[in-house]
Amino acid sequence: MAWRLRLVPEKTNIDFFKIQWVTFGTSVFAMLASIVLIFTMGLNFGIDFRGGTTIRTESTTAVDVGAYRDALSGISAGDVSITEVFDPSFRDDQHVAMIRLSAREGEESVTPEVIAEVEAALQAIDPAITFPSVESVGPKVSQELITSALLAVLAGAAGILFYVWVRFEWQFAVGTVAALIHDVLVTVGIFALFQIKFDLTIVAALLTILGYSVNDTVVIFDRLRENLAKYKQMPLREMMNLTANETLSRTIMTASTTFISLLVLFIFGGDVIRGFVFAMLLGVVLGTYSTLYMAKNIVLMLGVDRSDKTKKPGNGEFANVDA
């Protein structure tokens, strides 16, 4: 018999509702605390949202991000972000980087003197470097980006609400979206608490978190719908516990493998993607927690109409998922 790794026993009987008011209360407290942190401490917006200047560099010498950063360490600008650009169309001796400078506190834009200072510092370590383009993002554009980012997250949540509502029932949709709001809000709250840089890549991470979290929730809800038809007399609370235990192996395996992959990226991926990966790590942990302890709690509170379950047996896409 082939040996298989199991992170949890083949059959479990965990009561996920044993301390439901503690877990649910913790989630509500974390959401309220996140809102307070966002409005009191604020987010440490990156150049995308604060405005600044982007300088494109080209050179026949390979880009050394560390050397660039050391050369610009004494520049009297705000935050400095350096990213090497790769493109299959580049020549073998064409090395491109993007340098983003944010304006200093109290200033609306990066001054020409600062830009000249940056160019001189880079030319000192690489005489072959050129600056094909210099572009500035003003405060107005930054505000538009903030609005667009917020609308993108809200549109994603609304689309998921509609999908779950059509696929299941409105109680499931409310539970799912509440769990998604919990995941995104607590993630943003942690960014506010530790003042981690918040830019467009973090918005991309938040949208990815929405998709990851709803995947877990939909699989569990689909199994729940199947059990509603299978166990017609079983109390809803017991049935939800049964469903969570049946899918627990799949939930833990998915979360663990995703977390390990992201952890490797966080350690070895470098500064450019570290904020994105950190947000994803939070999303994996929070998404698994909210699926097990928040979404189901809300469905239990709202109740489910079981009068027609005998007429509509569960035959969802994920009904045969091996958990």
Q: What is the pLDDT of residues 207-259, one digit of tens each?
A: 888 888 888 888 888 888 888 888 888 888 888 888 888 888 888 888 899 99
pLDDT of residue 323: 39
Tell me which residues of the chain have a pLDDT lower than 50.
Answer: 1, 309-323
- Between CA 38 and CA 228 the distance in angstroms is 41
Of 136, 53, 140, nearest to 101 (Cα)? Answer: 53
Burial class for 267, CB neighbours closer than 10 Å (0-12, 13-18, 19+):
exposed
Going by their DSSP bridges, the two strands 80-85 and 44-45 should be labelled as unpaired
pLDDT of residue 141: 61
pLDDT of residue 269: 80
In angstroms, the Cα distances linking 209 to 57, 164, 204, 238, 315 are 33, 16, 9, 29, 27
pLDDT of residue 278: 94
pLDDT of residue 311: 44
pLDDT of residue 105: 66
Q: Which residues contact 102 (CB under 8 A, 6 or more apart)?
A: 46, 47, 50, 51, 52, 77, 78, 79, 80, 110
| Alpha carbon 116 to its chain's center | 37
- Between CA 180 and CA 189 the distance in angstroms is 14
Output the six-digit token pair for 36. Answer: 């307070």
Contact 253, 7 (CB under 8 A): yes
Of 83, 94, 89, 90, nearest to 59 (Cα)? Answer: 94
Indicate yes or no: pTM above 0.85: no
pLDDT of residue 282: 94
Q: Please give the domain boundaries of the chain with CATH numbers for all domains.
A: 20-44+142-302 (1.20.1640.10), 52-137 (3.30.70.3220)
Q: What is the pLDDT of residues 17-55, one digit of tens each?
A: 888 888 888 999 999 999 999 999 988 877 777 777 888
